[in-house]
A and B are shown apart, each in its own frame.
Chain A
């Protein structure tokens, strides 16, 4: 398992949080319970399985959802 922190553009609408959360939870290989969207610090944190999903695909999904990704960090758990 890997732990990822994605820095997003500044989040301003609360429904963004729900959108990003649902999108992340729907992805294969992401641990649903670990998904955390931080409204004020505009970050998305989650654990994922590197064998089943790549961080770049996750970043792509978030970008396609309409949110700019500023930086993503991955750390081994």
Chain B
């Protein structure tokens, strides 16, 4: 019975509306006060039923809810036989709840669309080789699954057989389909546009990249900032306080009308709902633009940022450096190349990859006693010789002799904006390699937009030499540039900024820069969506798309502003209502409920504006 009444809330509101209209017709057109009174009374009784049930359920778990305030107010109105007001108040309350539900669903729609992209079923291979359809929750690691054209990949896995093209936009934001064949990795939530694949499940459910993204966004939309937690604590005591206040007023004035009006006016609806609504709409807008914002604290912090620190390689630049200049000092060019390539093959460093790619196919030697020096290079033994490949700092530390000619070349290379890789054999410098990395196209405009949004202090930090970093900074119009920085130096630099009272965001690739990402107020990872970056950062730009950064900054500013507006609206309305109940004579229960419900709708509609937010060009 209870559940039936609760499930028919919307219909109840509708019937209430008809009865109220009927009541007014009989009063003013038919001049029949008896029928009018009956209509209003019936509307009140059926209207208060679901509200009273909710109030009772809340009381059972020791919560003084808004429903209780409204229920008492309506009962009070009944006692003084003001049926018209009790009918209108219950109707407005129910109708308001209906509209809130509708509009809230709208604000949540962007994130809902994302979660609905989650795969639901999978085709699993049985022992006899046949495939049957099962729920995606039932897939286990190691299962062999069939993916047909047009279907979603159900889990993260590896292709066993077959070929096809997969649209990975849901994970990477990249709209162009990617070719997949045996041994390719495939990701849950991506769509097979053509071909057929058999895959083996590597990660399932919440452990998949897509599952983690969803979980992250869902947690983000419900995360609470300090201000919000304060409001929540406030609301917890506010509702009982209103009840006490109304009782006191009634006790001293013996005016039931006044007491129940206070009950209705005191409902804290807009205050409690205002901030979560802005939050969910802002995060939803971000999600649909490939920007993951991890919660409302992040939004508040990022909106106040005054300094953005950038990593250079892979962030400001494309991150695929190429060899631009080479100078070899040894007569035996081939041997030097072979040694260098052998050592650089051991490394995943972007510069090392560029060197290997440039040298191409040469004879490779076994590398022994490899010692990787972080932020320096590699020291090892190759073919019986002590070989060092790395930067100037490493060469100097290892006591490698540099001739005057080499030093001249060095400054020339550096002035050209090269990152330098040197190779020495048995303590003698043999090769100087200059490597250049192109800045990302369009990045200058993006940085200009960021400046326009009020962040004046843009800094680049890099492990590269000062010449390269300066060149990038000049080209892009950055305010400061610091080279020769190890990951810990970057972290120390950021700590220093924080100590000086700056609000700092750090933008990096998330792999070597995790200390800086964690330390900065806001860590922004340029992630392809599959990196650990998602875990360590506060903001993720999908598909490493730098052009999303200005949008992210503008969006958080708009969202923070929206939250403040909503708090102001809510507080303003309550103050206005309380003031007018004591100092004016036109305020009554119905008007109070109308304004109260209206203010809730206003904050929701205000929050919804964020869904359409776009950065002004």
Contact = CB atoms under 8 A, between A and B. Distances in A.
Contacts of A65: 57, 61
Given A10-B101, A18-B236, A40 B276 contact: yes
> Of A12, A38, A43, which is in contact with the most chain B CB atoms at under 10 Å from its CB?
A12
B503 interface: no
A10 B105 CA distance: 8
B31 to A, nearest CB: 40
Interface string A56-77: 0000000101100000010000
Nearest to B67: A15
Contact of B6 (A10, A22, A66): A66
Interface in B184-223: 218-219, 221-222
B273 interface: yes
B87 to A, nearest CB: 21
A40 B280 contact: yes
B19 interface: no
Interface string B271-312: 011001001100000000000000000000000000000000
Contacts of A39: 222, 276
B236 A41 contact: no
A68 B608 CA distance: 26
A1 interface: no
A53 interface: no
A19 B63 CA distance: 6
Nearest to B56: A66
A58 B231 CA distance: 29
B218 A19 contact: no
Interface in A1-19: 10, 12-15, 18-19
Contacts of A43: 218
Contacts of A40: 108, 111, 218, 221-222, 276, 279-280
B369 interface: no
B3 interface: yes
Given A41-B218, A41-B221, A22 B62 contact: yes
Interface in B339-364: none
Interface residues of A, number: 19
A22 B218 contact: no
A76 to B, nearest CB: 13
Contacts of B111: 40-41
> Of A10, A18, A63, A73, which is in contact with the most chain B CB atoms at under 10 Å from its CB?
A18
Contacts of A73: 137
Nearest to A71: B137
Nearest to B3: A66
Nearest to B54: A66
B246 to A, nearest CB: 17
Nearest to A43: B218
B58 interface: yes
Contacts of A22: 61-63
A26 B60 CA distance: 11
A29 B443 CA distance: 55
Contacts of B62: 22
Contact of A66 (B2, B105, B221): B2
B222 A13 contact: no
Nearest to A25: B61
Contact of A10 (B104, B218, B272, B279): B104
Nearest to B2: A66
B446 interface: no
B65 A15 contact: yes
B97 interface: yes
Contacts of A18: 58, 63, 65, 236
Contact of B61 (A13, A14, A19, A41): A19
10 contacts: A12-B104, A14-B235, A18-B236, A19-B63, A19-B65, A38-B222, A40-B108, A40-B218, A40-B280, A41-B218
Interface of B: 2-3, 6, 53-54, 57-58, 61-63, 65-67, 97, 100-101, 104-105, 108, 111, 115, 137, 218-219, 221-222, 235-236, 239, 269, 272-273, 276, 279-280
Given A12-B97, A19-B63, A22-B62, 16 more contacts: A10-B105, A12-B101, A13-B97, A14-B235, A14-B269, A18-B63, A18-B236, A19-B58, A40-B108, A40-B221, A40-B222, A41-B111, A43-B218, A65-B57, A65-B61, A66-B57
Considering the complex of A and B, which 4 residue pairs feature the smallest CB-CB distances, nearest first? A14-B272, A15-B65, A38-B222, A22-B61
